[in-house]
Structure 1
Amino acid sequence: MTYLAQIEALLFVAGEDGLSLRQLCSLLDLSVSALIQQLDKLADKYEGDDDSALDLMETSGTYKLVTKEAHAELLRQYAKAPINQSLSRASLEVLSIVAYKQPITRIEVDNIRGVNSSGVISKLQAFDLIREAGKKEVIGRPNLYVTTNYFLDYMGINSLDELVDASNLELVDEEMTLFDNEESE
Structure 2
Amino acid sequence: MSPEQIVEAALFASQTPLTARELARADDALDVRRVREALAALREHYDTDGRAFQVYQLGDGFQILTRPEFVPYLERFDSVPRPPTLSRAALETLAIIAYRQPIGRIEVEEIRGVASTSVLRTLQDWELIEIVGRGEGLGRPLLYGTTPRFLDHFALQSLDDLPAPEDLSVALVRAEPEAPADEAAPREEPAAG
Into which bin does the TM-score normalised by the smaller protein fall? 0.3 to 0.5
Larger radius of gyration: 2
TM-score (ref. length: structure 2): 0.44
Structure with a larger share of its residues in helix: 1
TM-score (ref. length: structure 1): 0.46
